Chain A
């Protein structure tokens, strides 16, 4: 068990800056998900923590110990690779026991621990097989078992579910959550799938272009996005944004006056989640363009003062394309952003210090 402290870590590849002074702390036993689009630097950051990549700048501290100059095998970590990297020339048993064998653990003890994790991941009957005789899902379990077998202080996982088909991914996600919750191992988990991130994380660190733009529990990232990017990246459909004109204490959005805009010098941007609106007598009025029934809800796309605007409404409400719909935000759900920098003006948490620098 150990905590992780990532301080001012930067990485350049040639003249491409893959990471800009990233700061992130992971508490002992915490499960942090690095979430970001492809190319945002998640893998690079994870590999720097693992010691497979050297940071151009900054420090990584694991369990109170600076590990920058230690090779991966001296860092007390285990890793699950995106393509599993289950050794094809070894049996499942030897794969799972590999780390223990490297630590010169006695054979009987290896046997005991391999069987225990194999049981945990329901692969006891595969122990004699080779990787080539396994399905993707089974290989994935072997990769996780191999990592858990060494009882690491820190577990690193790079998109471990991304190569599985959708149904299997859902099943493995739930199972992984159960197994990892039990082990309470400090974990950094990389994914580009926001549903996966929400489902697994104690805390989500949202990455964008080599920076962590917000690190907070899932509900907070969802309801209080630290920047316009986070609001637009998380949530499906994403947050709606509309330009706002300052008017006295308030701000006018698409013709409607909101009285409680934040007092700041910056130009304002209005933001609201699609499910945070209800039909009302007055408010934001626009013409309905498309109605899509989604089982329990309906997704209504409308034209609001020239901007595309999406709302998720109860499906007992009759809405037809072409008609005009007037909506009011649920109380406390409007978010204001600095129109230029995109930084939230209503957030309750700050982004990790110095990330935006």
Chain B
């Protein structure tokens, strides 16, 4: 039993004080401001801004697109990252090198990533040139046609997967490294083939890392913005884009704050859901 003496206890509080003050000044204060903005009007408390937001014709599509993107992008990323992490972990040599290459997209901002994919996919872009060069198409195709929402959606999914799978990969590779190899070996000795070992041993033992990756990626997915703006412009409205547009184009901070609160609420709901769904069940059983 390690008990800190009361003097040391005081010291630990003193030591975390600067960080706490920093958080309060740069996170909590703006947060409270946003809440106040969203819920107050001339006569105090009001839900009018939320009504304005919900009544706007773009709110429905923005909500649907944002949720839809998250629901497609996150599972694809998790699955891809799991496969890649399993392969990377198995490498005996050059593991770090492969990981560095895989994580290059992490160093690129979302705006730049959007631009890269735009350059690839636009009418005179790289993909068109290749397809044309191979004689597969007779002339430039408009892959990012504003009338084809499905194509725009798919383009955003591809760009997002390319851009942000690596962060999941890094988390999962680190998580797999923490699992003692004896568990896998024991499963192997007792008759489990590679697939069984993955689903019965690795995946359940990866639970804490999966939880972290899911929460992190889902929250980021609800904040998707720059990639969508570059690839789809206004034709694929998303919540973050609407927040931006109310704040800067329409100069209505109140409705923008309402949007921010909605994003926060969804993120929070999913975080709580993942914390609950992927909790450590082994602690619950009565001893």
Q: List residues of chain A with CB under 8 Å of any chain B CB.
A: 50, 52, 71-73, 77-79, 81, 83, 85, 87-89, 91, 98-99, 102-103, 128-133, 146, 150
Q: Which of A73, A83, A89, A133 contacts B192 (CB 8 A)?
A: A73
* Residue numbers in A under 8 Å from B283 (CB-CB): 130, 132
Q: What are the residues of chain A within 8 A of B193 when measuring CB–CB?
A: 73
Task: Select A129's contact among B190, B207, B285, beta carbons within 8 Å.
Answer: B285
In the assembled complex, the CB of A96 is this many whole angstroms from the nearest CB of chain B, namely: 10
Given contacts A73-B191, A89-B205, A102-B191, contact A79 B186 (CB under 8 A): yes
Indicate if the CB atoms of B287 and A133 lie closer than 8 Å. yes
Which of chain A's residues has its CB closest to B191's CB?
A102
A294 to chain B, nearest CB (A): 37
Instruction: List, in ascending order, chain A residues with CB within 8 A of B219's CB.
Output: none
State the 8 A-B residue pairs at the shortest beta-carbon distance, nearest first: A102-B191, A99-B190, A85-B182, A130-B282, A85-B186, A89-B204, A73-B191, A72-B189
Q: Quick check: A73 and B188 within 8 Å, CB to CB?
A: yes
**A85/B282 in contact, CB under 8 A:** no
Nearest-neighbour CB distance to chain B for A136, whole angstroms, equals: 15
Interface residue ranges of B138-166 to A (CB < 8 Å)? none
B285 touches which of A83, A103, A130 (Cβ 8 Å): A130
Closest-by-CB residue of A relative to B186 is A85
Chain B residue numbers with a CB within 8 Å of A87 are: 183, 186-187, 201
The answer on a CB contact under 8 Å between B188 and A52 is: yes
| Interface residue ranges of B220-253 to A (CB < 8 Å) | none
Interface positions, chain B 195-218, Cβ under 8 Å from A, are 196, 201, 204-205, 207
> A31 CA to B224 CA in the complex, in Å?
64
| B182-A102 in contact (CB<8A) | no
B94 beta carbon closer than 8 Å to chain A: no
Contact A85 B185 (CB under 8 A): yes
User: Contacts A73-B190, A99-B190, A102-B191; is A52 near B282 (CB within 8 Å)?
Assistant: no
B residues in contact (CB < 8 Å) with A: 180, 182-183, 185-193, 196, 201, 204-205, 207, 282-283, 285, 287
Majority DSSP secondary structure for residues of B touching A: helix
Provide the residues of chain B in CB contact with A99, threshold 8 Å: 190-191
Using CB atoms, name the residue of chain B closest to A47: B185
Q: A85-B180, A128-B285, A129-B285 are in contact. Are A102 and B192 (CB under 8 A)?
A: yes
List residues of chain A with CB within 8 A of the CB of B190. 73, 78, 98-99, 102, 146, 150
User: In the docked arrangement, what's the CA distance between A103 and B196, Å?
Assistant: 12
Q: Cβ of A130: which chain B residues have Cβ within 8 Å of it?
A: 282-283, 285
Q: Are A132 and B183 in contact, CB atoms less than 8 angstroms apart?
A: no
A285 CA / B207 CA spacing, docked (Å) = 70
User: Quick one: which of B185, B191, B285 contacts A81, CB cutoff 8 A?
Assistant: B185
Residues in A whose Cβ lies below 8 Å from that of B285: 91, 128-130, 133
B195 to chain A, nearest CB (A): 12
Judge whether A85 and B183 touch: CB under 8 Å: yes
Q: Known contacts A73-B191, A102-B192, A102-B196; decide if A89 and B186 are in contact (CB<8 Å).
A: no
How far is A91 from B282 in the complex, measured between Cα atoms in Å?
A: 8
Contact A103 B205, CB 8 Å, known A85-B182, A129-B287:
no
Q: Decide: B282 and A132 in contact? CB cutoff 8 A.
A: yes
| Residues of chain A contacted by B287 (CB below 8 angstroms) | 129, 133
Q: From B204, which residue of chain A is reached at the shortest CB distance?
A: A89
A103–B204 alpha-carbon span in the complex (Å) = 21
Considering only CB atoms, which chain B residue lies closest to A75 in the complex?
Answer: B189
Cα–Cα, bound, A130→B205 (Å): 13
With CB as the reference atom, state the residue of chain B lying closest to A104.
B191
Chain B residues with CB below 8 A from A128, complex form? 285
**CB-based contact A50/B189 at 8 Å:** yes
> Shortest Cβ distance from B67 into chain A, in angstroms?
31
User: Which chain A residues border B192 with CB–CB below 8 Å?
Assistant: 73, 98, 102
16 other contacts beyond A81-B185, A89-B282, with CB at 8 A cut-off? A71-B188, A72-B188, A73-B193, A78-B189, A79-B185, A81-B182, A81-B186, A85-B182, A89-B205, A98-B187, A98-B190, A98-B192, A103-B191, A132-B282, A133-B287, A146-B190
Complex A-B: 28 CB contacts under 8 Å: A52-B185, A73-B189, A73-B191, A73-B193, A78-B190, A79-B185, A79-B189, A81-B182, A83-B180, A85-B180, A85-B185, A87-B183, A88-B205, A89-B204, A89-B207, A89-B282, A91-B285, A98-B187, A102-B190, A102-B191, A102-B196, A103-B191, A129-B285, A130-B283, A130-B285, A132-B283, A133-B287, A150-B190
Q: How far is the CA of A83 from the CA of B186 in the complex (A)?
A: 11
